[in-house]
Structure 1
Amino acid sequence: MTDDIDKIMDVMDAAFDPQWGEAWNRRQLTDSLAMPHTHYQLIGADGRIPTESSPAAGFTLTKAAPGEEELLLVAVRPEFRGTGLGKKLLQIFTDKARERKADTVFLEMRANNPAETLYRSVGFEPVGRRENYYLMADGNRIDAITFRLTL
């Protein structure tokens, strides 16, 4: 799993703009993966699970609870955005959530995240808002929006 953590961190470092403060550090990632019912999925540039020696182009990190799952993180390296990998990762996420008997999935994002278009395109709908939830690197705050998809 250490190789997979390295791959996730590599994608995270490339995909998340530091100004938003969304990237997790290695400790946060490993602590999360040590908890029961937390899952990850890697994807290669070809849309398949990367081999041990090939790099990852994207990943998801999810947490399951009875009847539901939450998408904690999703990322695609910038050079692979717009190729359908994000949509494929979301499809894998929802398929696996169904396998784990979830009937609803959730995600939370900052209010100005351009990924909202992707989330809405696969059926996620906004269901809540947390004002001033995210602290940005410059000290300003931005709202969080919670989205839900019924499976």
Structure 2
Amino acid sequence: MIDDLDRIMHVMDAAFDPAYGEAWSRGQVGDALVMPNTYYLLAGIDGSDPQEGQQAAGFALSRGAADEEELLLIAVDPAHQGKGIGSILMQRFIETAQDRGAVRLFLEMRDGNSAESLYRKYGFDNVGRRKHYYRRGMGTPLDAITFVLHKK
């Protein structure tokens, strides 16, 4: 029997390029999931919740505080990319966070991340930059870009 942590880690291992150091360890995800105000969404291959015993095709992990919520991680297994699963997860994240009372949603991404177009599609605006935040081993450090979406 696979549990939701297994499902998240399956996608994480497939989707995150180790060169950027963005993936979380199983322990980090497990610790986050037991913290208050931490939420996750899973998507199956058609974007809906995965069926019992099936792996997830994507996930989103967020944390809320007061009237804000931050999208900590979002990923789609490369085998299922290009099918709209990322869009479904973004829409569900926005709706569920706002249902919980969030009026500002935040996320941060590595400069050059191809997901930027997805974030902008849903109305997220660039509000900040952290210089050289992502260290890539011997590679050139990359900036982190912060985005916000205000409830309309």
Q: What is the aligned-residue identity percentage?
A: 54
> 1: CA distance between counterparts of 2:137 and 2:66?
35
Paired AA for residue 66 in structure 2: P
Once the two structures are superposed, what CA deviation does each residue of 1:33-88 show, in whole Å capped at 9, x if it has no partner? Answer: 12110011100011110122111000000000111100000000112111111011
Gaps of 5+ in 2: none
User: TM-score normalised to the size of structure 2?
Assistant: 0.95
Paired AA for residue 55 in structure 2: P
> 1: CA distance between counterparts of 2:87 and 2:106?
15
How do 1:1-151 residues align onto structure 2 when only pairs under 5 Å count? Answer: 3-151=3-151
Partner-residue secondary structure (3-state), 2:82: coil
Residue 140 of structure 1, CA deviation: 3.2
Over the aligned positions, Cα root-mean-square deviation in angstroms equals: 1.1
Q: Is the Cα–Cα contact under 8 Å of residues 3 and 52 in structure 1 kept in the other structure?
A: no
Residue 139 of structure 1, CA deviation: 4.8
Gaps of 5+ in 1: none
> 1: CA distance between counterparts of 2:24 and 2:35?
16
User: TM-score normalised to the size of structure 1?
Assistant: 0.96
Paired AA for residue 43 in structure 2: I
Paired AA for residue 146 in structure 1: T
> 2: CA distance between counterparts of 1:23 and 1:58?
14
The count of corresponding residues between Structure 1 and Structure 2 is 150
